[in-house]
Structure 1
């Protein structure tokens, strides 16, 4: 027989989250929480990409401003 030990606090949290997920209690569902986490990660990645693109555009703009050598 497999025994699983969980604190009463953990059990209460699981029950409450189950009630939220079933729509019987108002709060963020597990799905909402996962989506928010994924969106925050995406925002972080996009901000990082934006910074890279800003640096690249500044570099190439500086290249365009240099006088041509013949």
Structure 2
């Protein structure tokens, strides 16, 4: 199991937190996604044989947030 912390701009509320955690949580291979609004990031536990870091970042951007 791998872990990555991704910096995300544009998250400001509980809805943003739920949206990002929701899109990542639906991906096969993701076991957890936890947004920290204060730090402007999301920490993801995932299986790199099932989902790539690029896929995680693309899903966040598709949800309307900026990966930095």
Normalised by the length of structure 2, the TM-score is 0.24
- Which structure's relative contact order is higher, taking Cα pairs within 8 Å and 6+ residues apart? 2
Normalised by the length of structure 1, the TM-score is 0.24
More strand by proportion, 1 or 2? 2
More helix by proportion, 1 or 2? 1
